[in-house]
């Protein structure tokens, strides 16, 4: 029997409501990533003079949201549309990290930066003068962007988005706005650096960083869509994965800025990449493992902040209050994301 016109109209109205609600949910997820990315990138570490100042932290989101969050969003949206897996996402995030540190704020090549008193202490032990950069600092900056600015926030917000975490969140106008906001923020940072910095990266250094980033970006898109055969074998539980991520990330953050520390950082990165790469080949590796991985990294940065001396006049009460709130916030967010996540395998569908 055909439905009556009244029932059909009611069903259509319900469908419109569901569509509108779903559209706003996707926008909320996109906005959540734009906000969480700079919080993980800058606020968790507790190094800046804004530490413990809620108004300054909120105000900083106006610049850092576009600078970090829009990049994380664009990486995530590109991966969803192109069917790029996590190796490709990491490659794209690495490219974005190199652009940020080598082209935009040029901290990778700076001999001094923002009057940071311990900059020389971090730079000199591994400085390669003919190249004008220190491998320890370059690794620290780029890996920091890959893990905390981009990948960990993407994992957590996708888990919080539930089923929508497997789908694109923005249409082309939204992507265009995100791209323009990033370019505006990057131009402000670069312009301020060129105006006030005592030393700047050379044209060769900027071109080299941009070239490496381009190769990584193209490689991530082209080769990141290849998927291997997943097999059925045991993997550690999410709690073990989270604890391992916490330990590796804390160890990475607390490595000394020496050649031995640089070697230790590389060893931890290789160990972590090999472990995650192996486990992700199992059909038993799921979203809760990814959430544990991202949450462990976030907790590690919050823990490491207790060993950091903030810039400016930040008293111990203000600093440790900030660090404690950040630590509890990451723990709560990770627990929420774990509850919202499913146990199925993590895949980027090519048709999404």
Give the rounded distance of the alpha carbon of 268 from its chain centre.
18
Is residue 216 within 8 Å of 100, Cβ to Cβ?
Answer: no
What burial letters (b/e) apply to 278-295, b meaning 16+ CB within 10 Å? Answer: ebbebebbbbbbbbbbbb
The sign of the torsion formed by the CA atoms of 230, 234, 238, 243 equals: negative
> Which stretches of the chain drop beneath a pLDDT of 70?
1-21, 226-228, 342-352
Contacts of 53 (CB under 8 A, 6+ apart): 318
Q: How far is CA 168 from CA 51, 223, 340, 344, in A?
A: 34, 20, 18, 19
Distance CA 100, CA 186 (A): 8
3-state secondary structure of 282: strand
How many Cα neighbours within 13 Å face the side chain of 91?
Answer: 20
| pLDDT of res. 348 | 43
Shortest CA distance to 101 belongs to which of 73, 143, 62, 131?
143
Distance CA 51, CA 45 (A): 9
Is residue 126 within 8 Å of 258, Cβ to Cβ?
Answer: yes
Q: Check residue 284 and report its DSSP letter.
A: T
| pLDDT tens digits, 82-128 | 999 999 999 999 999 999 999 999 999 988 877 788 888 999 999 99
Shortest CA distance to 182 belongs to which of 97, 69, 57?
69
Dihedral class, residue 258 (left if φ above 0, else alpha if ψ from -120 to 50, else beta): beta
The DSSP secondary structure of 40-96, one letter per residue, reads IIIITTT-STTTT-HHHHHHHHHHHIIIIIHHHHHHHHHHHHHT--HHHHHHHHHHH
The whole-model pTM stands at 0.90
Distance CA 22, CA 56 (A): 33
Distance CA 164, CA 349 (A): 12
Count of other CB atoms within 10 angstroms of residue 347: 13
């Amino acid at each position: 029997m055909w439905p009556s016109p009244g029932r059909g109209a009611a069903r259509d109205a319900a469908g419109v409501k569901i569509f509108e609600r779903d559209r706003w949910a996707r926008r909320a997820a996109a906005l959540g990533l734009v906000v969480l990315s700079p919080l993980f990138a800058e606020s968790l570490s507790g190094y800046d003079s804004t530490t413990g100042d809620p108004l300054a932290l909120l105000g900083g989101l106006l610049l850092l949201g576009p600078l970090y969050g829009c990049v994380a969003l664009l990486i995530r949206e590109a991966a969803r549309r192109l069917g790029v897996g996590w190796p490709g996402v990491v490659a794209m995030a690495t490219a974005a990290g190199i652009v940020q540190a080598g082209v935009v704020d040029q901290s990778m090549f700076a001999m001094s930066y923002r009057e940071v008193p311990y900059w020389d202490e971090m730079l000199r032990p591994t400085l390669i003068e003919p190249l004008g950069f220190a491998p320890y600092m370059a690794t620290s900056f780029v890996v920091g962007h890959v893990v905390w600015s981009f990948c960990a926030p993407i994992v957590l917000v996708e888990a919080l988005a539930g089923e929508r975490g497997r789908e694109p969140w923005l249409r082309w106008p939204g992507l265009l706005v995100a791209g323009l906001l990033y370019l505006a923020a990057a131009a402000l940072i670069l312009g301020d650096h060129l105006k006030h910095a005592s030393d700047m990266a050379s044209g060769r250094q900027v071109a080299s960083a941009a070239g490496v980033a381009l190769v990584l970006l193209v490689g991530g898109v082209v080769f990141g869509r290849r998927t291997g055969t997943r097999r059925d074998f045991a993997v550690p539980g999410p709690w073990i994965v989270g604890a391992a991520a916490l330990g590796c990330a804390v160890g990475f953050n607390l490595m000394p800025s020496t050649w031995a520390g640089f070697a230790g950082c590389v060893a931890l990165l290789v160990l972590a990449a090999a472990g995650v790469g192996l486990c992700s080949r199992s059909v038993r590796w799921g979203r809760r493992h990814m959430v544990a991985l991202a949450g462990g990294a976030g907790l590690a940065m919050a823990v490491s902040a207790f060993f950091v001396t903030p810039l400016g006049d930040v008293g111990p009460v203000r600093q440790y209050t900030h660090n404690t709130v950040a630590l509890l916030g990451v723990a709560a967010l990770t627990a929420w994301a774990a509850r919202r996540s499913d146990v199925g395998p993590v895949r980027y569908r090519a048709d999404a």
